Structure 1
Amino acid sequence: MKRLLLIAAVAVMGVSLQAQETRFGAKAGYSFSTIKVDEAQDDLEARSTDPSHTFYIGGLVEHKFGDKFGIQGELLYSPLGGKEDRNASEDDVYFREKTKITFGTLLIPVSAKYFITENLSVSLGASFGVILSAKQKTVVDAGIGIPGLELEGDDDVDIKDDVNTLNIAPFLGAEFALENGLFFDARYNYGISDLSKSDGKVTNSFLQVGVGFKFGGN
Structure 2
Amino acid sequence: MKKLLLIASIAVAGITVNAQETRFGVKAGYSLSTIKVDEAQDDLEARSTDPSHTFYIGGLVEHKFGDKFGVQGEVLYSPLGGKEDYNVSEGQLYFREKSKLTFGTLLIPVSAKYFITENMSVSLGASFGVILSAKQKTVIDAGLGLPGLDIEGDDDVDIKNDVNTLNIAPFLGAEYMLENGLFFDARYNYGISDLSKSDGKVTNSFLQVGVGFKFGGN
Q: TM-score, normalised on structure 1? A: 0.91
% same residue: 86
Shift of 1:152: 2.6
Shift of 1:40: 2.2
Give the distance between the partners of 1:121 and 1:171, measured in 2 at CA: 14
Q: What is residue 158 of structure 2 aligned with on the other side?
A: 158
What's the Cα RMSD here? 2.3
2:187 partner amino acid? R
Moved more, 19-28 or 40-49: 40-49
1:60 partner amino acid? L
Residues 26-59 of structure 1 deviation map (CA, whole Å, 9 limit, x = unaligned): 0000000000000223536511000000000000
Q: What is residue 41 of structure 1 aligned with on the other side?
A: 41
What are the ranges of 5 or more consecutive residues in structure 1 without an aligned counterpart?
Answer: none
Give the distance between the partners of 1:6 and 1:78, measured in 2 at CA: 52
2:109 partner amino acid? P
Shift of 1:78: 0.2
Q: What is residue 25 of structure 1 aligned with on the other side?
A: 25
Residues 122-175 of structure 1 deviation map (CA, whole Å, 9 limit, x = unaligned): 00000000000000010011259xxx95623323x1111111100000000000
Partner of 1:78, secondary structure, is strand
Are positions 1:54 and 2:50 aligned together?
no
Residues 48-97 of structure 1 deviation map (CA, whole Å, 9 limit, x = unaligned): 0000000000000011111111110000000000000111359x731111
Are positions 1:133 and 2:139 aligned together?
no
1:113 partner amino acid? K
Q: What is residue 98 of structure 2 aligned with on the other side?
A: 98
Contact 1:84 1:100 in 2 (8 A): yes
Give the distance between the partners of 1:51 and 1:68, measured in 2 at CA: 36
Q: TM-score, normalised on structure 2? A: 0.91
Contact 1:195 1:202 in 2 (8 A): yes
Give the distance between the partners of 1:41 and 1:135, measured in 2 at CA: 22
Moved more, 41-50 or 17-26: 41-50
Give the distance between the partners of 1:70 and 1:138, measured in 2 at CA: 44
Partner of 1:98, secondary structure, is strand
Equivalent residues in 2 for 1:1-218, closer than 5 Å: 5-43=5-43, 46-88=46-88, 93-142=93-142, 151-155=152-156, 157-218=157-218
Aligned length: 215
1:61 partner amino acid? V
Shift of 1:216: 2.2
Shift of 1:14: 1.4
Give the distance between the partners of 2:47 and 2:155, measured in 1 at CA: 22
Give the distance between the partners of 2:105 and 2:168, measured in 1 at CA: 11
